[in-house]
Amino acid sequence: MTQSFAGLGVSPAIAAALSRRGITTPFEVQSLVLPSALAGRDVLAASPTGSGKTLAFGIPLIQRMPERSNRPVALILVPTRELANQVADELRPLARAHGGDVAAVYGGKALGSQAAAARRAAVIVATPGRLQDLIDRKLVDLTAVRTLVLDEADRMLDMGFQPQVVRILRDVPAERQTLLFSATLDGAVAELAKKYTKDPATFRTESNPGTKESLISHEWVAVTPDDRLERLVEHLGRAEGLSLVFVRTKHGADKLARKLIRGHDLSVVALHGDMSQNQRESSLRKFESGHAPTLVATDVAARGLDVDDISHVINFDPPRTADDYTHRVGRTGRAGRTGTGITFILPEQRADVAALVRGLGGAHSEALAAAVPGAVVAAPAQRSTTPRRRRRR
C-alpha cells in the first residue's frame, strides 16, 4: 500500500498544505480510497469514525474542483451540527489553498448569513434539514455541484433524514461523482447506494487509527444507585486529560452536570440536542480548551466529536448497543494517544449490558464477567442487518 500522498496522486500543492499541518503519512482508508476518488469514480467506503475519512473524501473533492471557484461545486452531507463544523474546519485550509472556501450550513444559526456564505463557497458542508430549507427558499443554487459526499450515511438514515437526503440527491445534477462513507454498507444504506451511485469502487476497513483496541483500555464497573455519583467523581479525579461522560437523556445530562458543579465543585459543561447552537458551541469551546475538563453529553457527542485530548470516556448510563458503545468509546484513544473507556452498571442493567457485550465479543466478555458477578455472557448472537430507527437526540 502506497505510504505517501504524492504516490497516491495527490497534487503537490495539496500535499504541501497537508505537510504544513504535520500530515505526511496516509491512513489506511485514505490509501484505499484516494486513487479511485481522484480518478473520478464513485466510491462506497465502510470506515469507522476517526479513521481519517474526512481527508479521504476531502482531498479528491478539492483537487478535482475548479480553481478560484466562488459558487458551490461540491456538497458534503453530514448528520450533525458538530460534524458539519469539524469537517468544514478540517477542509477549509486545503480549499483556500486551492482558491475556494468552505461554508458550514446547519440549524440553530441565522438563515440569511448561512445562505450568503453558502452561495459564495466552493464547498458546502450541511446537515440535510437546514440545506433542504435553503433549497426550498431558493437561497442556494446547487446546479454546479459536481461532487457529492454522504458522510456517516448510516447515522443520517438512523436519525430520520432519509426523506431530505433523497430530495437533495434529486436536486443536485445527475452527472456527478458520489462518495458515500458509512460504518456499514448494508440495509438502507445499501439501497441508497444502489440507487444513487454508478459502478462504485467499494472499500472496507476495520482499522481505526484513533480507536485501536491496543490504545484503549476498557473497564466494566458494578455500581449501586447510592454510590454511582461518588464513583464517577473518583474517576474524574484520576483523569489526566479531558473526560467525556455519556448519559441517555437530555434531562439527565443537565441534571448530572448540575450535581457535579454544585455538589463537588467541578468544572463541567453539558451537551445535548435541546441546547441552542450558541450554547452547544460554548460548551465545546470550554471543553476543548480545558476550562471545563468534563463534558456530560447524550449520544449527540458519540459521532462527530473529534477532540484529541479526551483521556476518559465514562458511560454513566450504559449504551444500548455494541455499535453505540464503539462510537462512544471511540472518542478517546485518538491520534495515537491512549485512552480509557469505563462503563457503570447498576444491578438492574446487568442483563442489558451482557447482551451488549455479546456484540463486542473478545476480551470484553471475560472482563465483564470478572468485574460484574452474575452478568453471564453467552456466545455472540447473530446481529440483524436491518437498520433501527433511533429517537433523535
Q: What is the pLDDT of residue 97?
A: 86
How many C-beta neighbours within 10 Å does residue 25 have?
11
Q: What is the pLDDT of residue 388?
A: 39
Q: What is the pLDDT of residue 304?
A: 67
102 shares a domain with 142 = yes
243 shares a domain with 105 = no
Task: Examine the fold and report which residue of 157, 173, 204 is the final residue of a domain before the chain moves on.
Answer: 204
- Number of domains comprising the chain: 2
State how far the Cα of 178 lies from the Cα of 280, in Å rounded to an integer. 31
CATH code of residue 222? 3.40.50.300
Mean pLDDT per 10-residue segment, the chain (393 residues): 81 90 88 95 85 91 89 94 89 90 90 92 95 94 96 88 93 95 89 93 69 70 94 92 95 96 94 88 91 94 80 94 85 79 93 83 64 50 38 39
Q: What is the pLDDT of residue 52?
A: 83
Which string of b and e fits 368-379 if b means at least 16 CB within 10 Å?
bbeebeebebee
Q: What is the pLDDT of residue 184?
A: 83
Q: What is the pLDDT of residue 56?
A: 95
Domain interval for residue 139: 6-204
Q: What is the pLDDT of residue 372?
A: 64
Q: At what angle do helices 28-38 and 53-63 cross, to 10 degrees?
A: 20
Q: What is the pLDDT of residue 314?
A: 96
Distances (CA, A) of 285 to 110, 260, 282: 20, 19, 5
Q: What is the pLDDT of residue 301?
A: 85
pTM (predicted TM-score)? 0.68
